[in-house]
Structure 1
Amino acid sequence: MIHLAGPYLLASLLVGLGVAGIAVRRNAVLLLVGVELVLSGCLVLLVTTQAAGGDRWAAGSVLPLFVITIAAAEVVVALAVVLTAFRLRGNIDLDAPAAADVPDAPEGAR
C-alpha cells in the first residue's frame, strides 16, 4: 500500500498550476500547456487511486493509456488550430485584434 499524500499533493499542484496558467496566460501555446498540466494532474490522480485500491482491476491500467492517447490527440488538433490562427492573424496572442484590424499585418494574412 502506498502513502497517498505525496501523489495527491503532486496531482493537486499540477492541476493548480494548469488552472492558473489557463487563467493568466493569453498566449495560445501557453494556454495549451496549462490544459496539458491539468490533464497530467488528472492522470496522476487516476494512477494513484488505482494503485492504492485493494483490487487491481484492469481498467485502472487501461485508463491512463486512454488519457495519454486523448492528450496526444488534443495536442495535435490544438497545435494545428494555433498554426492556422498564426498564419491568418500573424500572432498567437488571444487578446490581439484580428489581422484585418492591424495595419502592419503580414501580406498573406489579409
Structure 2
Amino acid sequence: MTLEYVIALSAYLFSIGIYGLITSRNLVRALMCLELILNAVNLNFVTFSDFFDSRQLRGNIFSIFVIATAAAEAAIGLAILSSIFRNRKSIRINQSNLLNK
C-alpha cells in the first residue's frame, strides 16, 4: 500500500471517531469512538515509521505505548461507567450530571 492510501484510511477512521464522539449520547459508544481515534493515530505512527525511518522502530514503539495507554483508559473508563450506572441507573451522557445529587 502506498502512503496516500494509508493516510486516507487513517483520516477516514479518525473522522468517524470524531463524529461518533461528538454525536453519541451513550458513554460506551463514546469510549469506542475514542478508541477508534487512537487506533487511527497508531496507524499513522506505524506507517510513517515504516515509510521514513525503516531502520529504527520509533513509531512502532510509540504505538505500543499508545495501545497500553488506551487499554488503561478503557479499563478506567469502564470502571467509572459501571459506577455511574450503579448509582444513576443510566449511561446516557445528557442524563448524568454528577455535580447534582
Answer whether TM exceeds 0.5 for this pair: yes
1:94 maps onto 2:73 in alignment: no
Match of 1:9 in 2: 8
Match of 1:107 in 2: none
Q: Distance in 2 between matches of 1:22 and 1:16?
A: 10
Match of 2:52 in 1: 53
Identity of aligned residues (%): 29
| Corresponding residue pairs, total | 100
Displacement after TM superposition at 1:54 (Å) = 4.2
Gaps of 5+ in 1: 102-109
TM-score by length of 2: 0.89
- CA distance change for structure 1 residues 59 and 97 in 2, over 3 Å: closer, same or farther? closer
| Partner SS, residue 91 of structure 2 | coil
Which portions of structure 1, spanning 4 or more consecutive aligned residues, are displaced by more than 6 angstroms? none
TM-score by length of 1: 0.82
RMSD of aligned residue pairs (Cα, Å)? 2.0
Q: Distance in 2 between matches of 1:38 and 1:80?
A: 21
Gaps of 5+ in 2: none
Q: Distance in 1 between matches of 2:45 and 2:59?
A: 8
